[in-house]
Structure 1
Amino acid sequence: MPAIHEVATLTTKGQLTLPKSIRQALGVDAGGKVAFDLRDGEIVVTRVGAEHHDPAIGSFLSLLARDIEAGRHIHALPEDLARAMLAHAGRAVDLGEDIDGDVDL
């Protein structure tokens, strides 16, 4: 994500208006929730409750999940990867976990 620098003014009630560029970068609209974390004197603002930041990626992953759940074969992937995806459909996956073996990109 590109660096964005914006300034907001705190009201007498302690309220801020998130600048439009920040709202767009976070993908939040009216009624959306954001979290504030204080880290070493800096405030980090993140969107709350969103699994995917990009709606196109979220839609693609939903489509892929439906195909996997339906048992459709994924021909563009290596067979061992497709089997692993099918074996883990509907289960939580730790993306920070170490990968066993070689990986071709």
Structure 2
Amino acid sequence: MHALPNVEFEVGAESKLTSRSQTTIPTSVRKALKLKPGHDSIAYKILSSGDVLISRKNSEEEKDLVMESFLDFLAKDIRRHPGQVQQLDEQLINQAKSLIAGIDIDLSNPLSADDE
């Protein structure tokens, strides 16, 4: 790790990469950043020195504007045309199930070169 000028460290920690290039954020870091597992996000910034700055991502940054626009469109359309809302037809559900049948995902396997 490179020395960062004029920076005081409150918390230091290390973690190891798994074969899937994943890591666990150490408890001391999660507590310092007040991260809630399954809820909060983190942001990574790579400094010119090669060091990485990890910070808690603000909720405003977490917004997916495309998804938000789509959901707003759906909500408005449902309000304007409530009679058009229909349950998914069983044939469509069965077709979707057939498209994913036999696909197994093993999260403990390393990612392929194409997936990285």
- TM-score higher than 0.5 here? no
Q: Which has the higher contact order (CA 8 A, sep 6+)?
A: 2
TM-score (normalised: structure 1): 0.44
What TM-score do you get using the length of structure 2 for normalisation? Answer: 0.40
> Which structure has the bigger radius of gyration?
2
**Greater helix fraction, Structure 1 or Structure 2:** 2
